[in-house]
Structure 1
């Protein structure tokens, strides 16, 4: 039987009005060092976000979410944080902050295929359940 790999993940949330503490799950951030994986899967549901705050600046939210994806990829276009090792970038991204983009607590799991975990977590944690 193939060995399972440990991974850590956090749910990416948009909190349009921080004082109200209401949020929409918009993605997941996954780190699996054994597989060399640091990835973000993001699916912004504008209708759900506007239900919490009709005046939210969706374009600004998109830019912030794109920055998370760039930091995951690393490299020069990700700025100084993108130059850090993958695990350090994961910890930087999951640090607690009081802003419109927040992360859940970090959770741990085990998987057989690290490449499949982002899709699995998006289905469980982000997408609207099908009836």
Structure 2
């Protein structure tokens, strides 16, 4: 039987008006040290954000979310935080902030295939459920 891998994840949220504390889940951030995996899966739905605040600057939000993806990838184009070890980047990205982009508390899970966990979490935490027919 294949060994299960432990992973940590946080849900990426956009809070268009921080004072109202309303948010839309737009992605997940996953760290699996055993698989050397640090990845952000992001699916931005501008209509859902505009439902909370029609003045939300979608392009600015998109740029900030792309920065999260670059930090996860690491490398020269990811800035100083992207140069840190993967686990340190995960902790930096999940640190509490009072800004338009926020992370949920960190949760832990176990899986057989770490490469499929992002898709699983996007389906459960981000995507709008399809109506039953």
Q: TM-score, normalised by structure 1?
A: 1.00
Give the Cα–Cα distance (whole angstroms) in 1 for the partners of residues 71 and 113 of structure 2.
23
Instruction: Give the structure 2 partner of residue 44 of structure 1.
Output: 44
Which secondary structure does the structure 1 equivalent of 2:12 belong to?
strand
What displacement does 1:76 show? 1.1
Instruction: Give the structure 1 partner of residue 82 of structure 2.
Output: 82
Instruction: Give the structure 2 partner of residue 9 of structure 1.
Output: 9
- Counterpart mapping for 1:11-26 below 5 A: 11-26=11-26
Give the Cα–Cα distance (whole angstroms) in 2 for the partners of residues 72 and 100 of structure 1.
19
Give the Cα–Cα distance (whole angstroms) in 2 for the partners of residues 89 and 75 of structure 1.
12
What displacement does 1:3 show? 0.5
Q: May I ask how many residue pairs the two structures share in their alignment?
A: 131
Instruction: Give the structure 2 partner of residue 124 of structure 1.
Output: 124
Give the Cα–Cα distance (whole angstroms) in 1 for the partners of residues 72 and 130 of structure 2.
29
Which secondary structure does the structure 1 equivalent of 2:28 belong to?
strand
Give the Cα–Cα distance (whole angstroms) in 1 for the partners of residues 58 and 46 of structure 2.
7
Give the Cα–Cα distance (whole angstroms) in 2 for the partners of residues 107 and 95 of structure 1.
13
Please list every run of 5 or more consecutive structure 1 residues that lacks an aligned counterpart in the other structure. none
Q: CA RMSD in A?
A: 0.3
Q: TM-score, normalised by structure 2?
A: 0.98
Which secondary structure does the structure 1 equivalent of 2:98 belong to?
coil
